[in-house]
Amino acid sequence: MFRGISNLIRLNLSGNLFSTLAQGTFENLLSLKY
């Protein structure tokens, strides 16, 4: 089970999902600042 989760995380880090998550976090930080 944990191995599958780690594999998914690796795929997310190297995939577009990570970029979308990063953009979401940056947008949240900016909204919190303002």
Residues 6+ apart with CB under 8 A from 21: 12
What pLDDT does 18 receive? 67
Measured CA to CA, the distance from residue 14 to residue 22 in angstroms comes to 12
pLDDT digits (tens, 9 = 90+) for 1-34: 577 878 777 766 666 666 777 788 888 888 877 6
SS3 1: coil
Every domain of the chain and the residues it spans: 1-13+22-33
How much is the CA Rg of the chain, to the nearest whole Å? 13
